[in-house]
Amino acid sequence: MLKLFRAELDKYLLEVKTYYPDQIVDMVVKYILFATFFYGFVYNVRNSTAYCVAYMYWIIASSIISELSMSISFEKQVGTIEQLIIKPYPFWLILTVKTYVVLLITALKGALLFAIIRITLPISLVFNINLVWILLVSVIGFTGVGLALSGLTMKFAKTASFESIISYGLLFFSGTIIPFDKMPMTVQRVLNVIPFTAGINASQKLLDGNSQVLYVLLWLLLINLACFVIGYFVFNAFFRNVKTNGVLNNY
């Protein structure tokens, strides 16, 4: 497992080094997006940390989901996908580790971004360690969604449109555009069982001081594991399908 992690980490760092302008542009875009779009909301609300947490969730969730399917799309395009499936590590595990490596770098970039935001924009952010645990648990569920979308990418090669729907859907339901408590009650109930929104909701409640950490974490763990298991099975179903129909290498 450690070998796999090192293999993916070294490879991704070399990729970042090779294509570094892309990384800089990515950070600049995220800063501009925050400064011009979200800052307006943050400025007008009482708890700016909660909004920043929701924004961070969106960055991480969309990174994981898009990275998993983009990895497959890239491997299919360049023709290395079959070399990856004939390795002793399960293919889903290679993709997941690859994604976590990207997530690690994204998290470092995110931390840098928030440091820049704190220095350049007049907002105050509160740090709470419990938010980190909630985020880590939520990553399990995001991975499930990412795996399901990867399965779809294995079959159909280009799934940028699906990815956009999910990414912007998550943005809408992140609570950064419309606060949760302003949404219809039925929608609120549904959002409470979706890992992404449940994580944000739980984080915001924790910041408001009206929730028990252990209970919240257990509930989140349950729905995130369920999401991961569903994603894992969807991925494997698509994997079997492409191996039967011989379209793994099609692009």
Contact residues: another protein, CB under 8 A:
3-4, 6-7, 10-11, 14-15, 18-19, 78-80, 82-90, 94, 240, 243-246, 248-249
> In the complex, what is the shortest distance from the CB of residue 9 to another protein, in angstroms, rounded to a whole number?
10
Query: Is residue 75 within 8 Å of 84, Cβ to Cβ?
Result: yes
For another protein, give the closer residue by CB, 4 or 194.
4
For another protein, give the closer residue by CB, 3 or 46.
3
> In the complex, what is the shortest distance from the CB of residue 22 to another protein, in angstroms, rounded to a whole number?
12
DSSP reduced 3-state for 2? helix
Q: Is 101 exposed, middle or buried (0-12, 13-18, 19+ CB in 10 A)?
A: buried
For another protein, give the closer residue by CB, 11 or 118.
11
DSSP H helical ranges for the chain: 2-18, 20-33, 39-43, 48-78, 81-85, 91-120, 129-156, 160-173, 185-191, 195-208, 213-245
For another protein, give the closer residue by CB, 2 or 185.
2
> In the complex, what is the shortest distance from the CB of residue 77 to another protein, in angstroms, rounded to a whole number?
9
User: Which pair of tokens denotes residue 150?
Assistant: 């990867």
